[in-house]
Structure 1
């Protein structure tokens, strides 16, 4: 038989029509050539990209099937996200379960509204900014439990589709499959189809390599985690437990922070070019086009300290000049407020100085064009910062690493801003066991978190067990997970806890508590803490109190935050102790101080004063500062409460105080917010804002009162549909964090 004809027949036999039509063309689904694989995978691509990169996409499919992953190619001229989701759900329900998908080319972008509680930190005022507050998120495609109601297609960016989280939707992120984007950034002089073709060829070549995870680099940038040295050191200890092979002869683990001297930008760019570098983690601030590396030098001698101050002053004066403000008045103001001589500002607008300052500023950031000039070879990159994964824009930072000329295959990045205290290294130890990036990612995902590149990327496994198949096909009732609890591997134990929790729900509470108190490894204890926090029961309350003194800094940091979320008096002594005695842990002390603001102010002050009576703390200025801060908070809460109660107060002030509760959860102000929401005579927008703000109190001792309000609004025939929906959304979220919710749970 003619070879060309034979290939055509095979391809024709492997191509089926799903029966979903948009216009004249149907979606084309090319089935796996390899049958009965343990799991399957889908390549979803737009028709134009498929036409222009068919050879490379088919080669990618072949490489995946060679690795034992049955692969579909789903192509179409997509007109809306629903077309894709229906296909993925159907493939997921098949006997050979779909484990993940990659979205190649111009794939519709879901923009999600009314779901900020499903992000790590996003609190953009949706009422004020409208669709600008939407979150670009592929959870639309991979989390089948999320119910998202269509709003509209963007009139200018036709690829963007807006959705609202349904009031009755599951208020959590728990992807059924993993997804990733292969979307070329706008690299100057490069055609997007050429970039995709070249990238896929790189992926196929990498799949031929045997590469264990044995070289790591971690960078903690300016301002990250309050630049806490304890946080920096504690992460190293945890990673040694999670990835022990990195600390053996022949391997390497390099930890860098912004306080180190020298040209950090150049050194970091050198690091990612290393041929042997497997994994790099960047903890830092960022934007869609920049990674913030460092600020002014960390110095102590007089002359360099003076130069830092002068550089700061010049920056302010140059900014005033650009804005056409009065430069002379700006100088006088700084001279008066900072007590600096005028001579320190005389050269601020000198051309050579402006240029030098500009170069200095640029050297503190990694820009997209910097990445284009190098060969980034780190195979997997975690960009733990804001906006570097803004794939909804034409150009975005993470894309330049992935689509560059080096060997970088996959990056995890965020489409919007992200919380500094996110647990970026959760289950990271699974990667050493050959777990695919996508299967690891499923437990990492927030609404904003995304993989850019090939989600099937995996390091060569240390052993023979196929953990990918276990993750996809074995639920928590399978005996394998209890067996894994007996291993000495920190993250295999953590994975087993997660699976058992999803199967047993509240029935796993005592196990989680026991593991917290018995586990030697930090990440295993952290996983038990995290799962217990969802149950929000007596076991968790006991663990929370003790976790404030856990050896793992990150666990103490999270617990300090969580104590403020509860706001109960019984946590005050432990929280105050954390704020005072854990002084060496800058980020923990910072979080403890913040949480004290949400507690009973009189009780906090009394506890602080008790410390001052102890000889070792007598005259302690940090404690005195905390007392003053608490006194100020007490006055602030009293003042804001009166404003919220006063219907004659300025409307903007009342609205500001209500919206403030989304970020500053003052439990004492909950009754005032409830009163506004319940009063039919109040402004409708203000009532909506109050109901939405009350949804940020899932652990509050006032929670029952909030739920009762929601029930009242839902039952009230005079409530508007919008008010009823917001009340339902708030109630659903609050009740999610309770043991009752998980009494009969059986997830996946």
Structure 2
């Protein structure tokens, strides 16, 4: 009865606003310090009205004033206009959720704001080469040019990031999507069920005392060191999981051949609070396992035959001659023809297909289970592709279980990101949306209810402190001395946001003395944001940190900076560090710093080693590889860029190599080509864009000086100047996400 009376009262205070389209506004029923907006399309609202009101009431009962905005939204600009209007009112808006058919911004010309997405926007269709991103809605400073609406996917609207826009994401509010996954579904029934379920769950006590962590095949080079170190990070952030009464299961993909079935069982465990997936992924699957490792001779033979059958079937699909493919493999591996027996038999195809199906989690697998975690982190490519009809995160969140929210990526993502950043906030009762607001990546999105929070007995209300008290430096100074690692790490970051370079010396001191891995990493990330001498010098110490992840990122940052003083210590770690990822990042950094210098340093290292077969093997592996860098850069890539007899698209493709491979030695050559007015504009433009990725380089001033020449040159086209202005701002403002330069 109370709900009905309250519902009628709310309807009486509906107001209308006119702008791009008529918007029905249902005002908050309770007054709180901050507000939240539920943005929904008219048809979904009419089909889900009672559930939406129930959800709104649950949000208000949990301490947020809640608006509902209903309209037949035509484009993202209409939606953003209303969000900013509410943000400028009191109480201040801290977040929004988009329910149903809300326009989807598809962002172009902003790949530097992603962790890994670098698809050629000229070569591939717009729907594939754009990034679905609600940063359009939740970062008010970013500037975009509207391009067009997709002719097939009507919800999708294309925007280009403008050159005079900020080139880093710094979100003003948090956002999330409630958009069911599935073809031929009753989406309104699913939304009704989900909203009512969430409203019920929000009334329950839910402490974080049960978690599941999974590392999939091929992720972080299958490094056991990296995998085991994450447990130390989680122990700092969720200490209750590691004492009697708590439970965390840390699963590695090679632990069992039936790991997929084990995961399905564990995900349905009653009382499971959080699940973290670190794996490769796609829009419709989670790539979990590799083919089983052979344990004996027979299994090794079967593994070879399976490999050969897959190659021959692949040749047939590509309409290549099957007989020639067989001849190639028989000669290459010296094998008899009977190894190919059964390649095209129905029974063999079915058996191989079934084996492959057991390796990964598909949409139908999720539809047939009842996942229980309230929050799931999908540290996987494409699992959060909410712009599609079907996507993995949507199946988990809006399915049969009790999942409230999931964090996923709308496009591919990088493995080396700090996936657990601020995750401990959930243990302090922080709303999942507030935690996600700190994840400033174009592709990262929350699916589900962003206002959800776990129960906490903390005496600090971080929700209010992070929204209303973010600039109260005295309060954060006090927390800097707190014994709690989560609070101390939070204080480090918030004080940095307020003080910037004035905090540099303290950050160096915090890194050098703090016992917490997470606090040290917060200090390092803040120093990387400042990108001054303090950061560049502290890398000589952080490369020796007990934490694998800090060593891994330090090796990468050394390559990004490009200072030759790093070569001796980097060489030591490449040959002695126990982590495959540290070694990988160190090897990459060698050439970026100095092609000849790294070669000489490695030769010097080998000269000091005693003679052994192992030493000889290492020399044969590393010396040619380092020599290859010089050949690749100066005998192939640079000459190809200069070669006007090659197709222009080939030259441009070669120039784009330096977006990922930031060789300091190549900068003078690239600058020279960029400043050559006789070169095609499109080629010069690609070099300008590539140089924007050198944000940590000690040659940044040189690059900026050359970029400024392009900008002031009266003969430069508007097309070239726009990219030069964008690169200038990128270099001055720094990498969008310093952990992923």
TM-score under structure 1 length normalisation: 0.95
Residue matched to 1:711: 708
User: Could you say which residue in structure 2 is the equivalent of 1:289?
Assistant: 284
Q: CA deviation at 1:641?
A: 2.2
Residues 623 and 94 of structure 1: is their aligned pair in 2 closer, same or farther, counting only changes over 3 Å?
Answer: farther
Q: What is residue 10 of structure 1 aligned with on the other side?
A: 9
The partner residue of 1:388 within 383, 391, 413 is 383
Structure 1 residue 359 displacement after superposition: 0.3
Give the 4+ runs in structure 1 shifted more than 4 A.
2-9, 616-619
Q: Counterparts of 1:4-403 in structure 2 under 5 Å?
A: 10-22=9-21, 26-35=22-31, 37-129=32-124, 131=126, 132-188=128-184, 190-403=185-398
Name the stretch that deviates more: 128-137 or 618-627.
618-627
Asked if the contact 1:177–1:442 (Cα under 8 Å) also holds between the matched residues in 2, the reply is: yes
Is 2:725 the counterpart of 1:728? yes
Residue pair 1:144, 1:176 contacting (<8 A) in 2 also: yes
CA shift at 1:333, angstroms? 0.9
Do residues 595 (structure 1) and 589 (structure 2) align?
Answer: yes
Deviation string for 1:487-538 (max 9, x for gaps)?
Answer: 2222222211111111111111112111111111111111111111111100
Match of 2:430 in 1: 435
Alignment partners' CA distance in 1, 2:268 and 2:496: 41
Equivalent residue, structure 2, for 1:659? 656
TM-score normalized with structure 2 length: 0.96
The reply on whether 1:698 has 2:685 as its aligned counterpart is no
The one of 591, 606, 610 equivalent to 1:612 is: 606
What is the alpha-carbon root mean square deviation over aligned residues?
1.9
Structure 2 CA distance, aligned partners of 1:72 and 1:492?
Answer: 31
> What corresponds to 1:585 in structure 2?
579
Return the offset for 1:296: 1.3
Partners of 1:225 and 1:587 within 8 A in 2: yes
* 8 Å Cα contact 1:645-1:672 kept in structure 2: no
Q: Secondary structure at the match of 1:502?
A: helix
| 1:360-390 Cα deviation digits (max 9, x unpaired) | 0111010001100111111111111110100
Q: Secondary structure at the match of 2:371?
A: coil
Separation (CA, whole Å) in 1 of partners of 2:2 and 2:293: 68
> 2:549 is paired with a residue of what secondary structure?
helix
Mapped contact 1:220–1:257 kept (Cα < 8 A)? yes
Alpha-carbon deviation of 1:175? Answer: 1.1
Q: Deviations over 1:172-227 (max 9, x none)?
A: 12211100000011255x30111111111110111121010011111110100000
How far the C-alpha of 1:542 sits from its partner, in A, is 1.2
Alpha-carbon offset, residue 588 of structure 1: 1.1
Unaligned ranges ≥5, structure 1: 739-748
Aligned residue runs from structure 1 range 475-554, under 5 A: 475-554=470-549
Aligned length in residues = 732
Q: Matches of 2:605 and 2:342 in 1, distance apart?
A: 50
Q: What is the alpha-carbon distance in structure 1 between the residues aligned to residue 408 and residue 516 of structure 2? A: 27
Q: Distance in 2 between matches of 1:297 and 1:462?
A: 45
